[in-house]
């Protein structure tokens, strides 16, 4: 099972370390982690995607709630949330496959944001499944490097209004 934890924390030094340390000490998985400031500069939001059985996922929430730097923990399933991940992928191209790469980008709603005579960087912002699909579609393409943000998620509008 997968679960998304949206964790509001005090924006202080060492807090990320405390939260990540708790996951590793208790043998919980972190599938993805994204951190950034919220509208209040004193508060950061961590979006953590984790997987495990029901009891583990429940323990993660309880252990997060115990951390004194954590203000609020919200959890939601993938279906009850809007989630996005940003990926930048740099590929080598030739004139033989340039057209094909551009077509894939068009279909996948990805855009080319940088290029040279031999390489191009493609940006995609989508749900994690689509990102995986794009990588899959490029299996015949020479990938130079990939950078991903990890999942960001918010609860669907209307769920807790």
Partner 1 sequence: MQVKKGLVKTMIGADAIVRCLEEEGVKSVFGYPGVAIAPFYNSILDSKIESILVRTEQNAAHAASGYYRATGKVAVCAVTSGPGATNVITGIATAFADSIPLICITGQVNSELLGSDVFQEADITGAVESFVKYSYLVKDVIQLPRVIKEAFYIANTGRKGPVLIDIPIDVQNKEISKFEYPQEVNLRTYKPTVKGHSVQIKKVIKELEKAKKPIICVGGGVLLSDAQSVIREFVDKNQIPVVSTMMGIGVMPTKNPLYFGMVGNNGKPYANRAMNESDLIIMVGARVADRAISQPGLIIHNKVLVHIDVDSAEIGKNVGAHIPLVGDAKHIFDELLEYSVDENYQAWIETLNLYKHNMEPKRNPNPAFVDPAVLISRLSEKMDDDAIFVVDVGQNQMWACAYHIVKEGKFLTSGGMGTMGYSIPAAMGAKYGCKDKQVITMCGDGSFQMSMMELATMRQHHIQTKLIVLCNKVLGMVREYQHYTYHDRYSVVNLDGSPDLEYIAKAYGMTYIKMETMESAEEKMDAFLKSDQSVLMECLVDPMDLVR
Size of the site for partner 1 (CB under 8 A): 18
CA distance 51 to 28: 8
Asked whether the beta carbons of 149 and 139 are under 8 A apart, the reply is: no
As measured in angstroms, the least distance from the Cβ of 71 to partner 1 is 5
For 87, residues 6+ apart whose C-beta sits below 8 A from its C-beta are 123, 124, 125, 131, 134, 146, 147, 148, 149
69 near partner 1, rule: CB under 8 A: yes
Q: Judged by CB, which is closer to partner 1: 56, or 119?
A: 56
Phi, psi dihedral angles at 11 (to 5 degrees):
-80, 75
Task: Select the residue interacting with partner 1 from 65, 94, 118, 142 (CB under 8 A).
Answer: 65
**Least spacing, CB of residue 79 vs partner 1, in Å:** 24
The yes or no reply on residue 90 touching partner 1 (CB under 8 A) is no
Matching residue, tokens 């939260």: 19
Interface residues toward partner 1, by CB under 8 A:
10, 14, 17-18, 21-22, 25, 55, 58-59, 62-63, 65-66, 68-71
């Amino acid at each position: 099972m997968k679960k998304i934890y949206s964790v509001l924390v005090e924006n202080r030094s060492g807090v990320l370390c405390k939260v990540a340390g708790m996951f590793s000490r208790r043998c919980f998985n972190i599938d993805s982690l994204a951190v950034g400031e919220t509208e209040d500069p004193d508060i950061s939001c961590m979006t953590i995607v984790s997987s495990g059985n029901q009891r583990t996922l429940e323990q993660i929430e309880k252990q997060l709630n115990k951390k004194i730097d954590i203000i609020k923990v919200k959890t939601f399933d993938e279906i009850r949330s809007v989630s996005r991940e940003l990926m930048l992928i740099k590929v080598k191209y030739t004139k033989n496959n340039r057209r094909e790469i551009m077509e894939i980008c068009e279909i996948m709603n990805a855009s080319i944001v940088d290029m040279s005579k031999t390489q191009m960087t493609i940006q995609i912002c989508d749900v994690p499944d689509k990102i995986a699909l794009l990588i899959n579609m490029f299996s015949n393409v020479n990938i130079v490097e990939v950078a991903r943000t990890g999942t960001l998620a918010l609860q669907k509008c209307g769920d807790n209004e």
